[in-house]
Structure 1
Amino acid sequence: MKDILVIEGGQPLYGNVHISGAKNAGLVLIAASIMAEGETILDNVPRICDVEVMVQILNEMGVKAFWNEDDSLSIIPPATTVKTQTPYELAKKLRASNLFLGALLGRQGEAIVSLPGGCDIGSRPMDLHLKGAQALGADIDIEHGYIYARALQMHGSRVYLDFPSVGATENIMMMAVKTPGLSIIENAAKEPEIVDLANFLNSMGGKIRGAGTDLIKIEGVPVLNACRYTIIPDRIEAGTYMIAAAITGGEVLVENVIPTHLHPIVAKLQETGATVQETEQGLLVKGGQRILPADIKTLPYPGFPTDMQSQMMALLSLAEGTSVIVENVFENRFQIVDELKRMGAKIKLEGHSAIVEGTPSLYGARVKATDLRAGAALVLSALAARGETTIEEAIHIFRGYEDIETKLKSLGAKIK
């Protein structure tokens, strides 16, 4: 796998870019598909590394998963049982492998799921996931790096989440959709990906109400039937290309988006001096004459997404003035700071805050992607920087951005 991106900066980006399906919706829908009887077909699935790993995991578990000629993904579980254990070597590559906990418990009442991997952006414990499983009647043990979950007597229950965790909400929804009785998730995550999962499960015969609010009610059904379903567009990919237009002073039409999902990002971009116009085709973003400072606090949806924090830091490092970024979700999100400093950014860390003092220009350098969104931020900085930037460990970027090289080239970027 190619692992280095080389970018010659200083080119304003112009043109249209088509946004792929949402990574974080696609991964959970792939896991949920094993609960259905028959062939599930998912449209608008991004062909990215994380999705390919999920497909490999399915195949290892005895589920047929394959790409069709129209780029849709078919998932056909066996009529009997699937393997209840996720393969360790594959599961440790991505965080979303933990979603098989809910899918397997919901399907056949047993799951042996390896403790997940993914980006090192901070502590993402499984305690809320396990609390939900136990409330619904599962017996949990953790040994040798695996979670052993067995449904002794599954029953509907009320689960209060101490934090609106997206993964925990998704896992509990998948368990509850086939658990007899009424289950209620309080302080549930409200992200668009949660709504997409609910719509998908309901398309298969599930009975879920309230997704997108902090109270989700799930009435268990005995059977889910396979369906064909189109995944929502990726709001984080869209936001990244919107910032690409702003940071290079270009003009980009971001196509295939749901504008309401992007309101927090649009608001901050406008604050920095960019103009964002909603059209029939999508969102047209024009870079301003100058970049203005802005303060950001990351919060669960509908607050400003933590997955866009690194990209905004790249933009604000070129602002005329000082910005403050407060990270409230993941404590290791600031690994990007040292890499941006190599390019001339002036950033000071104080606990959960980054003070970003804008500088007139960034300079090409040799840098390293420490995680997926940090990698995206380095791409943005490189597009605006003077000279050539080499980004090592770019595999992180390919985990979440489909055809990023091709898409940026189509907008006029010099990237290889």
Structure 2
Amino acid sequence: MDRIAIIGGAQLNGTIPVSGAKNSAIKLMAASLLTDEPLRLTNMPRLADTRFLGKLLTRLGVEVTESDGSDGQQTLLHAPEITSGFAPYDLVRQMRASFNVLGPLVARSGQAKVSLPGGCTIGARPVDLHLQAIEALGAKIDLHEGYVYAQAPRGLKGAEITFPFVSVGATEHAMLAAVLADGVSVIHNAACEPELVDLQECLNAMGAKVEGAGTPTVTITGVPRLHGATHAVIPDRIEMGTYAVAAAMAGGEVRLSNARPGLIDALLDKLKEAGAGVEETADGCIIRRDGQRLTAVDIETAPFPGFATDLQAQFMALMTTARGESRIRETIFENRFMHAPELMRLGADISVSGGEARVRGVEQLEGAEVMATDLRASVSLVIAGLVARGETTVSRIYHLDRGFERLEEKLGACGAQVRRIKGDGEAEL
């Protein structure tokens, strides 16, 4: 199993291009099930998660072709017909977002059998809201032996869908299903994340009629069919925020290109408050720190436009060497401080109580062997390793490969001493 090794102490100086958003790309890929014409997605990231979903879509009848075009990495998805409505556990369990093929399958072919995604290390994340939305649209839902059986032989019908709490995945799923429903659907208490806007723009380019994404109320007027389209995936705000934190942690000056800083205002405001320099540019932003120690600041995660839960672990790593004490409150997931004990192995002073962590900054972290527990936790350990004395080795980095494209290459190009150690022990520079 691969590991990543970091020798701390090097500043970061250079340019890091931000890839397309993983959390958007995988839902856009699922939209290919809604039409018999090709969907071309540009600015596509090449990640373990997109490969997992590509494998599942291929099983369902989608032709998936990756290539490098004049406008960068692209993926062409074409489903002239749905050859199977069965999404098995061995594929769905690898990435829970693949459960979102259920709605498009039912919308287009009237039936589907999709495995429940199973547990998640950072919390329960049940799919109840997903099923309630599909059921509200007229599908008959049965649960049996770990599978969801959904049927709507006469098609889905427009409906009012009110979520009891905000759910990004359920909102996206409802949108994907409702675009082919007969009539008007209204989603109340919808998530407002930028990825929802990206999905709306792609669906509308395919001929859908979706309004209101990015607000708490989304209205979808169903259409009989969708057609093919070309759509550029939005830049990944979590990757952008991660490298912004890495630059503030290591010091130096890093330009983030192909980025939209307005998507991470909550993080950038906290970086400024801590003492890092932030400058917006025409295609992104510049993060700099001149060697002065940062000041501890408090954060509390919240749905967009608040501080993203997917950046909480990275910010905790940043606070481990800041002057003073910071309080970090996690309000989205109930079990998302599993990175804290691993940071403590590097010498961090952290105490966790319920949904709050207190981080007392130390002068110096020390390199050690640590283990990734989830996607964002894995990169927080890499960030801490950038300043830890000696070598830090992060294992179980298959988590990291799910969401960060060419991380060693991007950090290495800015001066970081980081390398991948292959499972057989051979280092890959």
Structure 2: distance between partners of 1:290 and 1:302: 28
Alignment correspondent of 1:405: 408
Alignment correspondent of 2:142: 141
CA contact (8 A) 2:104 2:177 kept: yes
| Aligned residue identity for 2:284 | G
Alignment correspondent of 1:66: 65
Secondary structure in 1 aligned to 2:86? coil
Alignment correspondent of 1:312: 315
Displacement of 1:81 in angstroms is 2.8
Secondary structure in 1 aligned to 2:380? helix
CA contact (8 A) 2:385 2:392 kept: yes
For residues 264-293 of structure 1, the C-alpha deviation after alignment (integer angstroms, 9 at most, x for no partner) is: 111111111111100123200012511111
Structure 2: distance between partners of 1:82 and 1:192: 32
Structure 2: distance between partners of 1:242 and 1:118: 31
Alignment correspondent of 1:256: 258
Secondary structure in 1 aligned to 2:338? helix
Structure 1: distance between partners of 2:414 and 2:91: 35
Alignment correspondent of 1:15: 14
For residues 72-101 of structure 1, the C-alpha deviation after alignment (integer angstroms, 9 at most, x for no partner) is: 1111102x3331111321211111111101
Q: Are 2:162 and 1:171 aligned?
A: no
| Aligned residue identity for 1:100 | V
| Aligned residue identity for 1:345 | A
Structure 2: distance between partners of 1:309 and 1:107: 38
Secondary structure in 1 aligned to 2:143? strand
CA contact (8 A) 1:60 1:87 kept: no
- Count the aligned residue pairs: 414
CA contact (8 A) 1:94 1:119 kept: no
For residues 154-201 of structure 1, the C-alpha deviation after alignment (integer angstroms, 9 at most, x for no partner) is: 211111111110100011001110001110000000000000000000
CA contact (8 A) 2:254 2:287 kept: yes
Structure 1: distance between partners of 2:119 and 2:94: 6
CA contact (8 A) 2:60 2:82 kept: no
CA contact (8 A) 2:122 2:335 kept: yes
Displacement of 1:150 in angstroms is 1.2
Q: Are 2:298 and 1:295 aligned?
A: yes
For residues 45-72 of structure 1, the C-alpha deviation after alignment (integer angstroms, 9 at most, x for no partner) is: 1001000111111111221111124231
For residues 16-59 of structure 1, the C-alpha deviation after alignment (integer angstroms, 9 at most, x for no partner) is: 00000000000000011111221111101100100011111111
Alignment correspondent of 1:121: 122
| Aligned residue identity for 1:239 | G
Moved over 6 A (4+): none
Structure 2: distance between partners of 1:62 and 1:152: 19
Displacement of 1:119 in angstroms is 5.0
CA contact (8 A) 2:111 2:153 kept: no
| Aligned residue identity for 2:256 | V
Aligned pair partner of 1:185 in 183, 187, 196: 187
Alignment correspondent of 2:334: 331
Secondary structure in 1 aligned to 2:6? strand
CA contact (8 A) 1:4 1:392 kept: yes
Secondary structure in 2 aligned to 1:384? coil
TM-score, scaled to structure 1: 0.97
| Aligned residue identity for 1:406 | E
| Aligned residue identity for 2:128 | D
TM-score, scaled to structure 2: 0.95
Structure 2: distance between partners of 1:85 and 1:269: 46
Structure 2: distance between partners of 1:216 and 1:125: 22
Displacement of 1:117 in angstroms is 5.0
| Aligned residue identity for 1:162 | P
Identical positions, percent:
46
Distance 1:378 1:30, change over 3 A: same
Q: Are 2:128 and 1:130 aligned?
A: no
Structure 1: distance between partners of 2:256 and 2:120: 27
Alignment correspondent of 1:355: 358
Alignment correspondent of 1:275: 277
Q: Are 2:113 and 1:104 aligned?
A: no
Secondary structure in 1 aligned to 2:64? strand
Secondary structure in 2 aligned to 1:286? strand
For residues 112-159 of structure 1, the C-alpha deviation after alignment (integer angstroms, 9 at most, x for no partner) is: 111125851111000111111111111111111111111255211111
Structure 2: distance between partners of 1:133 and 1:170: 12
Contiguous gaps of at least 5 residues in structure 2: 420-429
| Aligned residue identity for 1:37 | D
CA contact (8 A) 1:372 1:399 kept: yes
Q: Are 2:199 and 1:216 aligned?
A: no
Structure 2: distance between partners of 1:6 and 1:19: 22
